Amino acid sequence: MTEETLLDRALVRLDQAASHLQIDPDVIEKLKYPRETIKVRLLIRMDDGSRKSFLAWRCRYDDTRGPTKGGIRFHPDAAVEEVETLAFWMTFKCAVMNLPYGGGKGAVRVDPRQLSKAELERVSRSYMQAFAHVIGPDRDIPAPDVYTNAMIMGWMADEYYQLAGQVRPAVITGKPISLGGSLGRDDATARGGFYLLRHLAGELGLGSEMRVAVQGFGNAGQFIAKLLAAEGHKIVAVSDSSGAIHAPGGLDVEALIARKRAGQPVTAMANEAGVQSIAPDALLGVHCDVLVPAALEDMITKDNADAIKAKVVLELANGPVTADADAILEKKGIVVLPDILANAGGVTVSYFEWVQNRQGYYWDLEEVHQRLLKTMEREGRAVWNISRERGTSVRTAAYIHALSRLANAIEEHGTQSYFIS
Ligand code: NAD
């Protein structure tokens, strides 16, 4: 018997959503496989003169609704099935938000912390050289993901311009502002989740003083902590790959972010007054109203889900809750605001960046925030209403919402009944 892959497990969500809709079998046939996945080896000259090769992938999962869109991850455990699953999620995320995109994703199997800055630049440029033939403003548009950032996007954009012989900033999003990036892209993922949580707070039974635990303290984790703390909520626990800390009276988020920016792990705060070090998994069991997974996939499983005490799980990470764990949380009455909606603020502002690049006219921060707020509230409300009307989890509702848009688009190309009638 072959082992169930991450993509097989992700596809269960597609089947669940399909059972609620009258859709043509063509739709499922199209969506259950990635359209194209390319694998290469990047051969990099290291600072010590040696050559090292790194595996890299780019997947374009489905482009029915527009060019594929998705981040590039640099991670030592990156694998093809993870890339394809993330690309599947991007297909649904763009459809949930009604962005004119399909889904894609890319990765390099590398630990960027082991590279010098010059080696990191060579890996980034080499990635673009290898995949430039599939990437483009109307074909496939990358963005940052885990352990990649604006500077890396800037290098990749520059490499694309050298190859294309022209400056085409819409080829990649999440660029530095001075290289055509959008204002508001840096905190967009967290801000989108924050707007969603605030919009549904009444329905979710959340008060004006929430206690929040954040797993993962990178881009998404730091910004959500900052946005919530600024509104008077308490961040009572955080973790990163070094470990976790707990402060029932609330952490000083600004001080913690300053420490992280200075290169220290969150556990460096552990000896300060009111702050104690806890086991990484213990973060899930702290007393709080909202738990924010903002690290990696498969962090909440059937083995630890039962410990969760939060009322709401806001998934800023992609795929942090396994399907088994989902069932446990549902039974406990914990509402999960799913990744394809809750972290879609990032791709939404990436879309705004692409629009601004194409029109050559740039918006101020207020306009970006207003448009993001409107999009998160519009699609968040639509998903919430589907979940109430159909009595489903919010995750299944988000998949139903996305699948109906994808199905409409796929069916417009003609289905079996059209061709045999
Ligand atoms: P990042 O690299 O900035 O941060 C990742 C954080 O997770 C780091 O603090 C790291 O130490 C921590 N981490 C790693 N392993 C951990 C573990 N076992 N326990 C606890 N913490 C751990 O990445 P990011 O951009 O913030 O992305 C985080 C998640 O959000 C990913 O799932 C990513 O796909 C998702 N996401 C990010 C964006 C974005 O715009 N940045 C958009 C959508 C989704």
Confidence of residue 227 (pLDDT cuts 50, 70, 90): very high
**403 domain-assigned:** no
Q: Which of 39, 52, 93, 105 is catalytic?
A: 105
Phi then psi for 234, rounded to 5 degrees? -105, 130
Q: What range defines the domain where residue 59 resides?
A: 34-179
**One domain, residues 115 and 222:** no
Give all strands of the β-sheet with 276-278 in edge-to-edge order. 276-278, 243-246, 234-240, 211-215, 290-293, 312-314, 335-337
Does residue 239 have its Cβ closer than 6 Å to ligand 1? yes
Which residues have C-beta within 8 Å of that of residue 87, sequence separation ≥ 6?
A: 34, 59, 60, 61, 68, 70, 103, 104, 105
pLDDT at 234 over 60: yes
Mean pLDDT rounded to a whole number for the chain: 96
Percent of the chain whose predicted confidence (pLDDT) is above 90: 91
**One domain, residues 198 and 120:** no
What does the pLDDT look like over 177-201, one tens digit per residue? Answer: 999 999 999 999 999 999 999 999 9
C-alpha of 172 from chain center: 16
**One domain, residues 239 and 276:** yes
What is the mean pLDDT of the segment spanning 317-321?
A: 94
pLDDT for res 158: 98
**One domain, residues 108 and 196:** no
pLDDT at 156 over 80: yes
Whose CA is closest to 72, among 106, 42, 108, 110? 106
**One domain, residues 171 and 40:** yes
pLDDT for res 328: 97
pLDDT at 107 over 70: yes
What does the pLDDT look like over 112-131, one tens digit per residue? Answer: 999 999 999 999 999 999 99
Give, using CA atoms, the residue closest to atom 36 of ligand 1: 317
Distance in angstroms (rounded) separating the CA atoms of residues 221 and 235: 11
Does residue 140 have its Cβ closer than 6 Å to ligand 1? no
Phi then psi for 210, rounded to 5 degrees? -90, 150
**One domain, residues 222 and 119:** no
pLDDT for res 2: 63
What domain count does the chain have?
A: 2
> Which of 295, 312, 342 finishes a domain?
342
Does residue 348 have its Cβ closer than 6 Å to ligand 1? no
> Which of 322, 342, 362 finishes a domain?
342
**One domain, residues 253 and 141:** no
Mutate which of 219, 300, 347, 348 for ligand 1? The one with the most ligand atoms within 8 Å of its CB, which is 219
Confidence of residue 417 (pLDDT cuts 50, 70, 90): confident
**29 domain-assigned:** no
What is the mean pLDDT of the segment spanning 217-234?
A: 96
CATH label of the domain that carries residue 57: 3.40.50.10860
**One domain, residues 132 and 213:** no
Our answer to whether residue 234 is catalytic in this structure is no
> Which of 342, 365, 399 finishes a domain?
342
pLDDT for res 415: 85
Does residue 143 have its Cβ closer than 6 Å to ligand 1? no
Give, using CA atoms, the residue closest to atom 31 of ligand 1: 317
pLDDT for res 118: 98
Residue that has been written with the tokens 């919009």 in this structure: 199
CATH label of the domain that carries residue 273: 3.40.50.720
**83 domain-assigned:** yes
What is the mean pLDDT of the segment spanning 284-311?
A: 96
What does the pLDDT look like over 363-415, one tens digit per residue? Answer: 999 999 999 999 999 999 999 999 999 999 999 999 999 999 999 999 999 88
**2 domain-assigned:** no
**DSSP conformation letters of 193-215:** HHHHHHHHHHHHT--SS-EEEEE
Q: Ligand 1 centre and the CA of 217: distance in Å?
A: 7
pLDDT for res 272: 86
**One domain, residues 111 and 55:** yes
DSSP code, position 171 = G
**Please, are residues 22 and 408 in contact by the beta-carbon 8 Å criterion?**
no
Q: Most distant CA pair in the chain: distance in Å?
A: 75
**15 domain-assigned:** no
More confident residue, 70 or 6: 70
Whose CA is closest to 87, among 72, 99, 108? 72
Q: Which amino acid is at 96?
A: V
E strands in 63-133: 68-75, 102-109
**One domain, residues 223 and 323:** yes
Mutate which of 69, 101, 146, 175 for ligand 1? The one with the most ligand atoms within 8 Å of its CB, which is 146
Q: Ligand 1 centre and the CA of 391: distance in Å?
A: 31
Does residue 220 have its Cβ closer than 6 Å to ligand 1? yes
Give all strands of the β-sheet with 51-62 in edge-to-edge order. 36-45, 51-62, 102-109, 68-75, 140-144
Q: Which amino acid is at 163?
A: L
**307 domain-assigned:** yes
**231 domain-assigned:** yes
pLDDT at 289 over 80: yes
Give, using CA atoms, the residue closest to atom 5 of ligand 1: 218
Q: Ligand 1 centre and the CA of 6: distance in Å?
A: 18
**One domain, residues 248 and 131:** no
**370 domain-assigned:** no
Give, using CA atoms, the residue closest to atom 3 of ligand 1: 218
**One domain, residues 148 and 240:** no
Whose CA is closest to 322, among 357, 293, 361? 293
Angle at 235 between CA 246 and CA 97, to 5 degrees: 130
